[in-house]
């Protein structure tokens, strides 16, 4: 299972089974890879929680991201287009990125 598929399954469970109104992603504000991943998965940057904690002897700021229940249908459509077998070649490489599919209108 890919991390993209895991995020899809978690979001689907949060919104469709548990009825949550928001799905959050929080990370160290200095973790550029995690911030990029949040944006790639469709999370919206909400802000920085400054001096959230002391970690490894330094103040740590946390970056907060979310997907709202009203945004979920469009994100779900993009995830499902990305996960579709037609989006992968014979070697298992994606043909279109999730970011590219997110910019397309929902089917």
Please answer whether residues 25 and 62 qualify as being in contact, where contact means their C-beta atoms are separated by less than 8 angstroms. Answer: no
Look-up of token digits 């895991």: 6
The DSSP secondary structure of 20-49, one letter per residue, reads -SEEEEEEETT-HHHHHHHHHTTPEEEEEE
What pLDDT is stored for residue 103 in this prediction? 74
Successive 10-residue mean pLDDT values, the chain, 107 residues: 91 98 96 96 94 84 97 95 92 89 66
- pLDDT at res. 104: 58
pLDDT of residue 13: 98
**In whole angstroms, how far apart are CA 9 and each of 28, 53, 64, 93?**
23, 30, 20, 20
pLDDT of residue 105: 61
SS3 56: coil
The span from the CA of 47 to the CA of 94, in Å, is: 31
């Amino acid at each position: 299972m890919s991390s993209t598929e895991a995020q899809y399954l978690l979001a689907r469970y949060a919104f469709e089974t548990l009825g949550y109104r928001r799905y959050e992603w929080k990370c160290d504000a200095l973790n550029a890879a995690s911030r990029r991943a949040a944006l790639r998965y469709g999370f919206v940057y909400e802000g920085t929680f400054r001096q959230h904690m002391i970690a490894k002897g330094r103040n740590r700021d946390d970056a907060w991201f979310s997907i709202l229940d009203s945004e979920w249908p469009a994100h779900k459509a993009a995830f499902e287009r990305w996960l579709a077998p037609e989006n992968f070649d014979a070697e298992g490489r994606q043909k279109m990125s999730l970011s590219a599919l997110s910019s397309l209108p929902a089917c």
